[in-house]
Each structure stands twice: as C-alpha cells, then as structure tokens.
Amino acid sequence: MRYLILSLALALGLAAPLRADEGAQAVISAQIEAFLAQDVARAYGYATPFIQQKFGTPEQFGAMVRDGYPMVWKPSDVIFLDAKDIAGKLWQSVSLRDATGAGWIVEYEMVETPDGWRINGVRVTPAPDATA
C-alpha cells in the first residue's frame, strides 16, 4: 500500500508543472521508494553530484544510509511538512517513523541541478510527540 501511495504521489506530481517544493517532494518520494525497494543504485541517483562523489559508489552510499539513517532507509508514515528557503537553498521537512515506531523530522537540503532537483544532505531530529 505504501508503494502505491508513493507511486501515485510521484505520478500526480509529474503530471503538472512543478513548483520548487513539489519538485523536491517528488525527488524525496522517489528516493524513499527506492530505499524501500532496496534499490540503492536508483536512490543514489537522486543525490547531488557532490554526495555521489563523496561516497563513490551506490553501495557505499546505501550502507551509510542504512547504518546511519535507518529512519530514512526504511520509513513509514511519510508526511511532507513545510519547505523553507534558507540562505538560497531549499530545505524540505518530512515527518516519518522508523521501523521501531519512533517519530523523526528529516530536513532534506535540496539543490537544483541541470538534471533537476537532487538531495544534498539531511538533518534529522526526533519529532515532538504531537508532530508524528
């Protein structure tokens, strides 16, 4: 069901011209879908060239996310929150739960590249009980 919802959101998002936050949300959704499918090569493709160069291979990138960001690797209850422009960069906040049920707020730093929006990093904080 989760795959269906993410796929539908992505398909609907691509059907109309995208605002910056909608484009960012589509990329984040697609990367989450790739992680859930354990398709690290596809997930790696949504990272900026800087991140790709930093990790070198999809496998190293996937291991970093799996081991360091389990809430991003296998999330549930994904809810998009506000997007903010901070110092000229788009930060998209997402509320999600990890495999243990803990709530998190993940802020994705998004960069617009010639190939479209890409993820340049995340900041993760525990979600207040009322948010997630």
Domain 2-126 has CATH 3.40.50.2000: no
pLDDT of the residue at 123: 97
Tokens of 121: 């990093």
Per-residue model confidence (pLDDT) at position 58: 98
pLDDT of residue 14: 45
Query: What token pair was written down for 84?
Result: 């903010």
CB 112 within 8 A of CB 92: no
pLDDT at 17 over 50: no
For residues 81 and 104, the answer to whether their CB atoms sit within 8 Å is no
pLDDT in tens, 47-98: 999 999 999 999 999 999 999 999 999 999 999 999 999 988 899 999 999 9
H helix runs in the chain, sequence order: 2-14, 20-36, 40-44, 49-55, 58-68, 70-73
Residue 8, SS3 per DSSP:
helix
Please give the average per-residue pLDDT across 28-40, as a whole number.
97
Q: What is the DSSP letter of 127?
A: P
Amino acid at 88: G
Closest CA to 70 of 109, 30, 97: 97
The better pLDDT of the pair 125, 14 is held by 125
Average pLDDT over residues 15-25: 70
Any bridge partners for residue 128, and if so which?
none
